Amino acid sequence: MPKDYFQDITPPASEKLDTAKEERTIRNIPIAPRRERGPNFPTADSPLNAPASAQASITPSKKFTMPSRRIIIWSIAVVAVLALVFVAFAMFQGTSVVVTPRTHAVVLTEDVPLTAYITGDTRASAESLTYDLAERTHDANSTIDAHGFTEVEEYASGIITIYNNRTAGQVRLIKNTRFESPEGLIFRIRDSIVIPVKKGDAPGTATATVYADQAGVKYNLDPVDKFILPGLKGGDMYNDVYARSTIAFKGGFVGSKPKVADADLEVARSALHSSLETQARGEVATLSVLGTLVFPQLMSLTFESLPVETSPDGKALLHERVKVAVPIFPDTIFARALAVATRADTPDGTVHIQKSDGIQIRYALETPTAVHEPLSMLVSGNATLTWEVDADALTKALAGTSKAEAVFDRIISGISSIEKVDAFLRPFWRDTFPSNPTDIKVIIKEPAQQ
């Protein structure tokens, strides 16, 4: 019997639906009206399709909102302020010029002679090289064993400062000029000396060692406020030239003193001289200040042996003194003299020595003349000369002029102390320099080391 294929899909009689009841088929299931899918329509991966337990742990994303009106207003205000700052910077940032001064490298392969006069010397001209004299005195002592005693007569000595309160010129005092203390004691100088002319309210000064006319302790004076010069009495210089001492005179003695072997005395004095020279050279290195030049090679040392005394323990007490003298040159005057002597192109204006440590200088004579006389020197080596820029003259020349290259170059070329100028005008659209010179800032560029 053929197989009834519909038998397998026909429900049993007991499972047949009651025709009286509503027939539940797919055709009878009501379908809800279909809605249009929007951008937020849940997908298979949407949290809405997740289990309830999972949905509870999911935070809905925030809805995009437009910036508030207050934020927009503040943003506009910030932009406006920044714009104003930029405009103010451009408008009020001052005009400046960067100046490179003129320089000249001096290279001396052979000695060049120079002559210098002490300040106030009537023999010096306006173009002459001049100098001031720095003088210092240092003392040192030591003890050595004595071999008996000897009778001596010794003369006191001391350092005085001589003053020239005249404006008519320098004063020259010859060897053996007398200086008299208030007690009438006479002292003399052993070398001639020149006292510079008075400068403004400051009298010219020079230091010297004076020696008592007679031996004895009565010439061992305390500091003296005023020595007069008897040789000037009755003349117009008598009241204007005088001297003072600030340290006590010593060495005056008549009687017996320890006797020392010549060889021992020479060794002890040599050691003291070495110590004093080291001290003097160290001090000379400190004398150079801004605007001046000091050359240790020109330092003059004069040693003096003071009378031997007796120490508290009965030994011989030696006293040695050194007088230091060194010329001090104004930087600008020495630089000008060096430029002229080397035939450098020397425009008008003030010139400085930017680098002087390469200069070698010495006295022309093996035995130099007294430091108060004209100094004959020989100079070699190398140096860099730098011209001083007159900032006021530059700003006055530029004030109110056009920044056009032709005009600018013409002005700068008329100032011989300038090598190069770079101008920066603000605001950038400005085509002339400020009419007020004080509104132009001048920056002097340090010349390159050569």
Listed in sequence order, the residues at least 6 apart from 253 whose beta carbon sits closer than 8 Å to its beta carbon are 152, 153, 154, 215, 216, 217, 307, 309
Both tokens assigned to 13: 């009689």
Q: Is residue 230 part of a domain?
A: yes
pTM score, whole prediction: 0.62
Structurally, the chain folds into a number of domains equal to 1
Q: Is residue 202 part of a domain?
A: yes
Of 399, 390, 403, 384, nearest to 438 (Cα)?
399
Give the residue numbers spanning the domain of 195.
149-258
Q: Is residue 135 part of a domain?
A: no
Q: Is residue 336 part of a domain?
A: no
Q: Is residue 240 part of a domain?
A: yes
Going residue by residue through the chain, which has 450 residues, state the pLDDT in tens, using 9 for 90 and above: 555 554 555 555 554 444 444 555 555 555 555 555 555 555 555 555 555 555 545 555 555 455 677 777 877 877 777 766 655 555 555 688 888 888 888 888 888 899 998 887 778 888 889 998 888 889 999 999 888 888 889 999 999 999 999 988 889 999 999 999 999 999 999 989 989 888 888 899 999 999 999 999 999 999 999 999 999 998 889 999 999 999 899 889 998 888 888 899 999 999 999 999 999 988 888 887 888 899 988 998 989 888 888 888 888 999 999 989 899 999 989 988 888 877 766 666 788 887 677 888 999 887 666 566 788 999 998 888 888 888 888 888 888 888 787 778 888 887 878 888 888 877 667 778 888 888 888 888 876 655
Of 120, 106, 268, nearest to 194 (Cα)?
120
Q: Is residue 244 part of a domain?
A: yes
Which class for 70: exposed (0-12), middle (13-18), buried (19 or more C-beta within 10 A)?
A: exposed
